[in-house]
Amino acid sequence: MKDGLLLIDKEGGLTSHDVVQKVRRILKQKKIGHCGTLDPDATGLLLLTLGTATRLTRFLIRAPKVYEGVLQLGVATDTYDASGQPVSTAPAEAVAALTREQVAAAMKSFEGDIAQKPPPYSAKKVNGVKFYELARRGEDVPDEPKDVTVYELSPLSDLENGSLRFRLACSSGTYARGLAHDLGAALGVGGHLAALRRTQIGSFTVEAAVNVAGLEETVNAGQTPATAWVPFDRIPLPFGEVTADPQQETRITHGQTVLVRELAGDEGDWVKLINRRQELIAVGTVVERIGTAGVGIVQPRVVFR
């Protein structure tokens, strides 16, 4: 295990950075990154890039995410989740009067392209300072909405004492606890995120992941976690793929443009470039389309071999 993707099932109480540090120690490898932060209280899928694969992080981090969580209505907190302090509490009878159908309708209204304001206690930065650092100092946090997409927000259970399980499918950068807070406000009773588990990132699912303890046990036994490890050349990328012939491969490894056929995508789109041995040699962009027969010129941007 040196260059590739490692699927980790993060436990609660650890930051994403904590997980990276633990994996570095277990694998005795320094060059490790991750593809999308999970809050400390959240659990579930964390994608780690190892070695050369760290150069693919910027492409993998954009993948859509799927979560399952618990919404608690009736109490809003300053952090928008269960770790914060209550800032408002609704009358018990107002919460009890809500139905699953009402909550489902409110959830439906958040689906689609929306402008979401990041929670005040978040790692988003302004002038190099994280929002939560400003919030803890009692300073105003900038009101900077971000365009995100919610593909699905739906209930998975009935309401019980204001608590309801839900499923969320969304674009990268969406704050689940922000949605919980805004949903509570839309229902007129306030709310916060009580629990969250990430179940999917792109085509990767948490069922294939390994927890940190399991990874250490596997490595100590001299083995590789079968489903949790994706070798570098097999990493799926969210764009088209082109197979280069030997002459093209030489040009690509020198950073030179190549003329390719059967090209999917428009000018400016990214392309995965592999050789006939199915090895990933580079990632490039389409710089020119020629005619309508799928012919175009690709410029290598990130060369691996």
Top-confidence residue, 96 or 126? 96
Give me the domains of the chain, ranges plus CATH numbers: 4-63+203-234 (3.30.2350.10), 65-201 (3.30.2350.10), 240-303 (2.30.130.10)
For residue range 137-192, list pLDDT tens digits in order: 454 555 678 899 999 999 999 999 999 999 999 999 899 999 999 999 999 999 99
- Per-position DSSP letters for 147-206, written without gaps between them: EEEEEEEEESS--BTTEEEEEEEE-TT--HHHHHHHHHHHTTS-EEEEEEEEEEETTEEG
Looking at residue 123, what is its pLDDT? Answer: 57
- Cβ atoms of 112 and 101 closer than 8 Å: no
CA distance 198 to 242: 32
- Quick one: pLDDT band at residue 134, thresholds 50, 70, 90? very low
The residue type at 107? M
Which residue is catalytic, options 3, 39, 81, 182?
Answer: 39
Q: What is the pLDDT of residue 135?
A: 42
pLDDT above 50 for 273 = yes
Q: Which residue has the higher pLDDT, 300 or 40?
A: 300
DSSP 222-259: T---TTTEEEGGG---SSEEEEPPHHHHHHHHTT--EE
Q: Determine the Cα–Cα distance for residues 94 and 79; give it in Å rounded to an integer.
A: 23
pLDDT digits (tens, 9 = 90+) for 201-241: 999 999 999 999 999 999 999 999 989 999 999 999 999 99
So what's the pLDDT on residue 143? 65
The mean pLDDT value of the chain amounts to 91
Q: What is the pTM of this model?
A: 0.90
Question: Distance between CA 176 and CA 47 in Å, rounded?
Answer: 18
The yes-or-no answer on residue 39 being catalytic is yes
